Structure 1
Amino acid sequence: MASSRDVASRLRQAVFYGSVPLEIRLDKHDCRTYDDSEPYLIQFPRLLYLGLLIPKLHSFFSNSLIYPDVEPREAWLSYENVPLKWHYPLGLLYDLYSGSEAYSGEGDGNDEESANKGNLPWKLTIHFSGYPVEHLVKLDAAGKHLHDLYINSVKEADYVRNGTGKTIMSLNKDDSTKLWESVKEHNFSVFNPINQKLLNPQGINLRNIPIKLYLPHAPFDTTEEEPTPGSLRVLQAPVPPILSSRSPQTLGTALNTMIPSLFPSRRIPTLAQPILHGGILPLSANVEDLLRTAAYLDGWLHIAVVMMA
């Protein structure tokens, strides 16, 4: 019988290698031909960032561009006219903007009808003009912005977990370099040992679980009469692994504390469902177990909240 450690390791690896098929087309306003250019097709890892794909997309579409000298940093991606944040993991973006159609509770998830509800391959558009600076920070030629945003998120998660940022700061130079390189290269064998050092620091007890909840279209923002399409409300709060009753914190107890209006019950979803890595999470799930097996590459549990049909 496999040990719990072996099972956890296999789960981490399965999450790491999850992917979403993409079909990316060039926006007609940037295309020099009257007909659409050929699409760029790729099976892209759920945990990675679209910003890492931009140089390849620029190279692929360069011969079809009206202005071939345009730089990669001018590129941005959209889904149904919604600008996609290139520093958000692909899996989170898909779950927020398209995957919700697959979580209606209809179908068994294995037939063609269910696949179509999930909008796969996910059809995106790449643009090389009209950069939406009010929604997105621009990439830079060297990729430093994406690196810095990732490392800052890792540091934030480290502080939430331990009440100090010493763990990430104490990594040696080689591990610090390999951490980002393993993300860019999507290399589990290099990433996992370093990540385990961050999740299991010696002499430090786990204080809180790094959880961020994403609610699309800002449904509770009363300051906006018409929220911008694709706008998000991001929530986070201290989530200790153990309740005051000494019982383990479950996802249901955490969600009931963070957004009781959507999760009035700690056991049964009635208004909304939590989605992680393309699946509906049971409210009975232990949040510490989720952290150790299903956190994103920056150490956070990025959970999409999808309204039930």
Structure 2
Amino acid sequence: MSSSRDTATSLRQKVWHGSIPLEIRLHRGDCRTYDESDAYLIQFPRLSYLGFLIPRLHAFFSDNLIYPDVSSTEAWLSYEDVPLKWHYPLGLLYDLYSGAEPAYPEDGTELKVHTTEEEQGSLPWKLTVHFSEYPAEHLVRLDAEGKYLHDLYINNVKEADFLRNGTGKTIMSLNKEDSTQLWDSVKQHDFSLFSPINQKLLSPQGVNLRHIPMRLYLPHAPSSTQDEEAVAGSLRVVQALVLPALSSRQPQTLGTALNHILPSLFQSTRRPILAQPVLHGAAVPLGTNLEELLRMAAYSDGWLHIAVAMMG
């Protein structure tokens, strides 16, 4: 039992401390010299949100902007012309768009979380920051005070809480100090602040786990060449009620859940054939117990955000 707890703790720590090196450049259309400015380089947590970088990017690139008085609220980030959503954690965005090959478990049975040194593909991940032509049809516009980013995050936490417990009372019953600590832990990426609040949310006294908060993200191909630019990088997000156990009382595994939700892609509950689930940069074995995966490897908003990567 102690060994199992140690393994869980180690994995939670690895998930929390996972990071991705970023190289962020100013879009040429916003640069007063119509040329590339110096790049902003940072090692950024996988579990954090790009919106937290906007004040730093605004300050860093202010001397290079065509319109130096432009507000930070005009800023947005893209990868290969795809606007990056504020409420998606960096790790999910990277797994969806970077094209990096996921890490595979050495023995094929246990999740192998990517550390910075183990990331595959081209690093640093090269992004572009824009200060004009805001894609309002794709992104919520952030405010200077960070209230919208806070609301986007808390809404995800509330929905995850409702799915886990059948009620939103757990998150709603947090006192003001705990609620503030949760948000501060995310902004500061401080595990010592986050862990005690997360334990209250994941393991409320007297409440049994009802459902597994899980979202699946699939690439969505354009229906025609005319639509290609409009839907570049678009996704199909699939969500369903996932019980922690099967009717046979056997634990729900990732494979049994995926076979039920996306049977055409996951025809086998044990072996990936057409598609591979990816979480935190790692290919997750289909035999993984979903409840254990939730408690050890959920994102900070309480969700298992799983990218579906096509094989072959």
Q: Shorter-normalised TM-score: what interval? A: over 0.9
Runs of 4+ in 1 over 6 A off after TM superposition: none
> Of residues 193, 212, 215 in structure 2, which corresponds to 1:212?
215
Write out per-residue CA displacement over residues 206-244 of structure 1, whole angstroms, 9 at most, x where no aligned residue: 00100000012x24979x964600111101101111100
Q: What is residue 198 of structure 2 aligned with on the other side? A: 195
| 2:300 counterpart of 1:307 | no
The one-letter amino acid of 1:77's match is: L
Q: Secondary structure at the match of 1:102?
A: coil
The alignment partner of 2:101 has SS state of helix
- Asked whether the equivalents of residues 274 and 280 of structure 1 are also in contact (C-alpha less than 8 Å), the reply is yes
The SS at the match of 1:23 is strand
Query: Which sections of structure 1, spanning at least 5 residues, go unmatched?
Result: none
Secondary structure of the residue aligned to 1:266 is: coil
CA distance in 2, matches of 1:101, 1:300: 22
Task: Give unpaired runs (5+ residues) of structure 2.
Answer: 105-111
1:61 aligned partner, one-letter code:
F
Equivalent pairs counted in the alignment come to: 299
Contact between 1:104 and 1:308, CA under 8 Å: does it hold in 2? no
Name the residue aligned to 1:296.
Answer: 299
Q: Which residue of structure 1 lines up, in the alignment, with residue 283 of structure 2? A: 280
Written as runs of structure 1 = structure 2, the 5 A alignment for 1:47-66 is: 47-66=47-66
For residue 78 of structure 1, give the secondary structure of its aligned residue in structure 2.
Answer: strand
Specify the SS of the correspondent of 1:9: helix
Aligned 8 A contact 1:256 1:266 in 2:
yes
Partner-residue secondary structure (3-state), 2:271:
coil
Report matched runs for 1:16-31 at 5 Å: 16-31=16-31
The Cα offsets for residues 56-94 of structure 1, whole Å up to 9 and x where unpaired, read as 110110111010101111000000011110221000000
Offset at residue 14 of structure 1 (A): 1.1
Cα offset for 1:149? 0.7
**Contact 2:222–2:232 (CA<8 Å) still a contact in 1?**
no
Range with bigger deviation, 26-35 or 2-11: 2-11
1:201 & 1:219 partners in 2: Cα distance?
A: 41
Q: Which residue pairs with 1:8 in the alignment?
A: 8
What is the match of residue 184 of structure 1? 187
Shift of the 220–33 alpha-carbon distance from structure 1 to 2, 3 Å rule, reads closer
1:297, 1:154 → 2: CA distance?
8
Aligned to 2:133: 130
Paired residues for 1:249-288 under 5 Å: 249-288=252-291
Match of 2:101 in 1: 102
**Alignment check: 8 A CA contact 1:273 1:306 kept:** yes
Percent identity over paired residues: 70
Q: Could you tell me which residue of structure 2 aligns to residue 43 of structure 1? A: 43
SS at match of 2:63: helix
Aligned to 1:175: 178
Quote how far apart the aligned CAs of 1:35 are.
3.1
